[in-house]
Amino acid sequence: MLKINNLHASVEDKSILKGINLEVKPGEVHAIMGPNGSGKSTLASVIAGKEDYEVEDGDIFLEGENINELAAEERAHKGVFLSFQYPVEIPGVSVTNFMKTAINESRKAKGLEDMPANEMLKLIREKSELLEIDRKFLSRSLNEGFSGGEKKRNEIFQMAMLEPKLAILDETDSGLDIDALRIVANGVNKLKNKDNAVVVITHYQRLLDYIVPDYVHVLLNGRIVKSGTKELAHELEEKGYDWIKEEVGA
């Protein structure tokens, strides 16, 4: 599904990713953990195609295709989805209109006709129920005045609508109370199948109790310094990151 080789990336001449290697197979859930400033969000943004970041070296493959040179929207059309840590507020565009536009643009890119209105409505109803989203919420301006929890739930609602092959969840647990966390995780788990993959980026082990990872990676200073199974996440929760820093001599 996703293969990253020796990825180096910088922003404004500041080197952030310093040789990332990662392979995610269909059906897998990977967690990327690490302290603040280790490069987690940068990695997510670079995979999604944010142009502020300069890829200096290395390659990103999606289903065997090199996507280094593709624009963000082209990556989205190929099935990459990023759930934002800080979803942007867009006054004047309703959640529904935004989703319709996104879905129909993706269909257009694949040479398909617009989705018929009744089908769209059905899909919206189905997916909003999955995320326990009120219908009124869908006619509000995108993310404007949403609480932290509403924003994150809305991100996963978008994921449900777009049905990506590779979903990257960037700090989706931050700002969530326990109920919202359960709803969001439940949504992700229901969307999960043997043909897609999820990369969960998080500080804390809490979310991983709900979305159980197959692999856990520790990102430190722009490199993946340790990989393991879900037990590694528990260990990190208990002991923090210092022991790894010592172990790898960082």
Residues that bind other proteins (CB under 8 A): 48-52, 71-73, 75-77, 80-82, 84, 87-88, 90-93, 96-98, 100-106, 109, 114, 141, 158, 162
224 CB-near residues (< 8 Å, 6+ apart): 20, 21, 22, 32, 217, 218
For the bound state, the minimum distance from the C-beta of residue 155 to other proteins, rounded and expressed in Å, comes to 10
Residue 147 CA to residue 13 CA, distance in Å, equals 35
Residue 42 CA to residue 38 CA, distance in Å, equals 9
38 versus 85: smaller Cβ distance to other proteins:
85
For the bound state, the minimum distance from the C-beta of residue 106 to other proteins, rounded and expressed in Å, comes to 4
For the bound state, the minimum distance from the C-beta of residue 94 to other proteins, rounded and expressed in Å, comes to 8
163 versus 237: smaller Cβ distance to other proteins:
163
Residue 51 and residue 12 in contact, taking contact as beta carbons nearer than 8 Å: no
For residue 53, CA distances in Å to 12, 14, 16, 46 come to 8, 10, 9, 7
91 versus 240: smaller Cβ distance to other proteins:
91
For the bound state, the minimum distance from the C-beta of residue 50 to other proteins, rounded and expressed in Å, comes to 5
59 versus 114: smaller Cβ distance to other proteins:
114
120 versus 212: smaller Cβ distance to other proteins:
120
For the bound state, the minimum distance from the C-beta of residue 68 to other proteins, rounded and expressed in Å, comes to 16
Residue 9 CA to residue 56 CA, distance in Å, equals 5
166-170 and 223-228 beta bridge pairing: unpaired
